Structure 1
């Protein structure tokens, strides 16, 4: 262990204390009352109770309205991404002006009535609101403080910026200003600081179903996994090198951690201005981990309920002439799930997914626009099932096929697989956060779930889902929820079904039933192949499910290989319980 000189330790503590004190001074009663003096971002500790805080005098119940615009500082704006323009990014430097949402209070917790992305008139952003805190502070002249963690989620996409807002209120209403700050994100192409005072109005009043909202929150809180600092893992496993559990550039990481022995050992949530004070409810974008969480799990659940559904063909359920073309008639639902439709432009690794054609799928707001791209972009280049080529469009098309099958089987035209199968059968029973139970959908009457991306989760959700697939084998309370043959193949438990090789990485990586797998045999010097299944998302999101029951997760956004390569964590996790086969 490296030991710092006493004077260096003292200097560091004094600096941190001075930074926090300055931040609280910037947002003291006088500043919150006048709406002046907030000239730059402050340490986020100012948005949470500290040791001097007192129990809240007032209770918040009613609606909060906000208006005005924060100051912004753009750190990165990649206008090459999906052909976004300068005009697009000008919109991204503003926030929605239709913030008018209800909250209720339970003890010291402020609970938003609505969770998940909230549709907005803003051309770029939507709010996601999470439970925050209420408390009193000396010097606030009888007012109570309320802090609300939130995220700005890009409309139609997964780009996520995390922030906190804070106001002072009493029984009659609120001070005229709320402090607003965004200091971190998980978004490869847009990094911004936002800060400043907004105009605030608190409208006290009874909220319908308050008791149910509070009860649901208490259930959510009770269902969260035990969490400890990552440093506590050393006591249980002294041989671990904790530094090797972190990968990639630290400035690109949002959060990482390791689940073992029933505990989530988690890193803090660092930002450019101190640690995020509400780390447990920080919203994380799924990006393509949704291909596993939504498409993969939904397909396995459908196969368990309707055996043979994944052997159905696109041509039999084609919603448009383009999908009824000859190149789609013999493509099975399983081929779509495996990204092996045979319809592609280039077999080179990620060449199609990185091409400008993908914008035709991602940018449209309507199902018709996305469907046009999914069915028309690529020619027939190989027999279905013979070659893996990564296409988000295949996963999106699978969602439409499963919906059409479900409606045909039940005779109910208003059902969809996400709301009618995945949510009641899997996501709700797993007690995922309310945020993770809402999918991005097309902004039209179809409201088609994206399937291949579009979910927002907490770290706790990632772990529960991984545990369900891995150690629980797709079972709940002794009942098999997911098709066992599909799940065993996806999780590399059937050596006769390893899945299609990933182009240019044939000996090391496989992809099967929306789950990736990596052979770590050489890393661990195993005698035979040692496969680790994992979920993967754009920018640097990995949830690895190790055969010894350990789950390791990392959320980053720079897109560099170092942010995906979990070789070092794989070696360290082998020290916990060896997982070489045999």
Structure 2
């Protein structure tokens, strides 16, 4: 029998939090081992969390949207898809912490390792009343030493509240104290510091939240030794970190010139070292900044379909890129052409066109595509069932502004999704029905470059397991994953061991012109030494990953607002700072 231990007498909880009105235990210092602390006791168990009301402090106070799906006013079609017994869509509450299970192993050395590093969620029919789902990341445990704490250990680890169909994340921390047969509730604190979106658009709107979440503890039968060993190997491969200032004054000036209200972090991977400064939160500096999961919106386009296309081309040749998209789907069974004019143009659209967002189909650009009256886009992006999404995607006619595919780019998010889905079907034709695009990326792209545990929001499944990624948004990477992915592109598609992971000609093509292509942006940078085309990944909220030809990658994480952008001048200043360190 596990007894829940509620007494909050622990001395190291008594740090003063930065966030006004938050309890003392919410300060980030309470989630970090004191200097010289001994590792906590080993542990293995499932924390079956209860859905819990959070204390939410919003600024301005009337800006908090408690039931986002109802607030938007356009999701009646999705509410109608709620299965029997599901918590109604319009009642899902953004002020509730989700009651989901977390499986944890804690090593003798004090490493806290969640078994599942992806999105923790339930099937739609069994979803919690919370709007949110959950991602847990590795942390640390340590012995407590106060007079009232004898025999107790504390485990602390980063968490993010996320939503599978969206791209934002509330970043935060969780901790609980434990000893044989006893635990405290899980203490959580969170803030809307990652680039917002679905309900948090404004850089002037801030949210902080906290709660003590009750849980029951269940035994966990796993090979703890193997889990601990795998995590130790992962940490051994982690690049060392240094302050950004050690790269020189030019980088400090360029980083300082970014909008502070819209910038969460700046990091530079150079010669195998990650340079970055502290990540500030309303509760103090984040103690595990390299393990926090953030939403990066359209950077996902490069991380999923972009890298997948170049990996598949390396394995099987690039010819699949020029196959018609419709050849991977079944007319009549899966979709119908809107009319004969649509049929004629759809049959010309290739996977490459979709990756370039130049299909010549559908809306004329981003704003008309996502206009609230264009319900077909919302039916594609939010429907629970993949067949419904496929039918909605093809339910459009030609873009009237162009004469055919490949003529001009129009920013249509769903083109990335269809490109990824067609590529997954190509992959299955080569490797069998069990092959998935996310599986390919994890095993053959991210793990080989030391960036394993790639996480993305996906469509729902009957079991709650990952479905198909939205591919235009939804990736939830760490700073390290972003830096290493950018370095892979900057290194010509070669991994750290020199193996060719991505198709070299396609990677080289990213620097051939300043046009958008293969899910990457390109920027032309001119200096005394000439003109260079620099490929980069870009997502709303100011999220940017710049791949440079001098073994340097720049990562900028947006803060708190979907609408922040990095100006061309600010981006060039960062690139020139890198050039000052190592000319190219």
Question: CA separation in 1, counterparts of 2:108 and 2:369?
Answer: 46
1:298 is aligned to 308
Please, which of 298, 320, 343 is the counterpart of residue 309 of structure 1? 320
1:340 aligns with 2:348: no
1:182 aligns with 2:190: yes
Matches within 5 A, 1:9-158: 24-25=13-14, 39=23, 42-51=26-35, 54-56=37-39, 58-67=41-50, 68-75=52-59, 76-77=63-64, 84-85=71-72, 91-120=93-122, 121-122=127-128, 124-135=131-142, 136-142=144-150, 143-158=152-167
Please, which of 171, 175, 184 is the counterpart of residue 162 of structure 1? 171
2:81 is aligned to none
Question: CA separation in 1, counterparts of 2:22 and 2:457?
Answer: 34
Distance verdict in 2 for CA 1:107–1:163, change over 3 Å: same
Contact 2:155 2:175 in 1 (8 A): yes
1:536 is aligned to 538
Contact 1:153 1:159 in 2 (8 A): yes
* TM-score w.r.t. length of structure 1: 0.82
The Cα shift of 1:372 comes to 3.1
Question: CA separation in 1, counterparts of 2:68 and 2:371?
Answer: 11
Give the secondary-structure state (helix, strand or coil) at the position aligned to 2:473: coil
Give the secondary-structure state (helix, strand or coil) at the position aligned to 1:429: helix
Distance verdict in 2 for CA 1:549–1:80, change over 3 Å: farther
Contact 1:145 1:168 in 2 (8 A): yes
1:327 aligns with 2:354: no
The Cα shift of 1:417 comes to 2.5
Give the secondary-structure state (helix, strand or coil) at the position aligned to 1:292: helix
Give the secondary-structure state (helix, strand or coil) at the position aligned to 2:394: helix
1:555 is aligned to 557
Give the secondary-structure state (helix, strand or coil) at the position aligned to 1:149: strand
1:278 is aligned to 288
Please, which of 400, 403, 411 is the counterpart of residue 390 of structure 1? 411
1:351 is aligned to 367
Question: CA separation in 1, counterparts of 2:328 and 2:173?
Answer: 46
Contact 2:45 2:217 in 1 (8 A): yes
Question: CA separation in 2, counterparts of 1:178 and 1:273?
Answer: 17
| Unaligned stretches of 5+ residues in structure 1 | 1-20, 29-36, 499-508
Distance verdict in 2 for CA 1:433–1:353, change over 3 Å: farther
The Cα shift of 1:22 comes to 9.9
Distance verdict in 2 for CA 1:290–1:532, change over 3 Å: same
| Unaligned stretches of 5+ residues in structure 2 | 1-9, 74-88, 201-205
The Cα shift of 1:313 comes to 0.6
Contact 2:49 2:98 in 1 (8 A): no
Question: CA separation in 2, counterparts of 1:380 and 1:454?
Answer: 26
Matches within 5 A, 1:487-566: 487-490=507-510, 492=511, 494=512, 498=513, 509-521=514-526, 524=527, 526=528, 528-557=530-559, 558=561, 559-562=563-566, 565-566=570-571
Question: CA separation in 2, counterparts of 1:80 and 1:520?
Answer: 45
Please, which of 388, 412, 418 is the counterpart of residue 438 of structure 2? 418
The Cα shift of 1:90 comes to 6.4
The Cα shift of 1:485 comes to 1.8
Question: CA separation in 1, counterparts of 2:183 and 2:214?
Answer: 10
Question: CA separation in 1, counterparts of 2:428 and 2:362?
Answer: 29
Question: CA separation in 1, counterparts of 2:267 and 2:519?
Answer: 23
Give the secondary-structure state (helix, strand or coil) at the position aligned to 2:250: coil
Please, which of 184, 188, 208 is the counterpart of residue 193 of structure 1? 208
Distance verdict in 2 for CA 1:561–1:132, change over 3 Å: closer
Size of the aligned set, in residue pairs, is 520
Question: CA separation in 2, counterparts of 1:289 and 1:38?
Answer: 33
Higher relative contact order (CA 8 A, sep 6+): 2
Please, which of 203, 211, 219 is the counterpart of residue 225 of structure 2? 211
CA RMSD of aligned residues (A): 3.0
1:289 aligns with 2:283: no
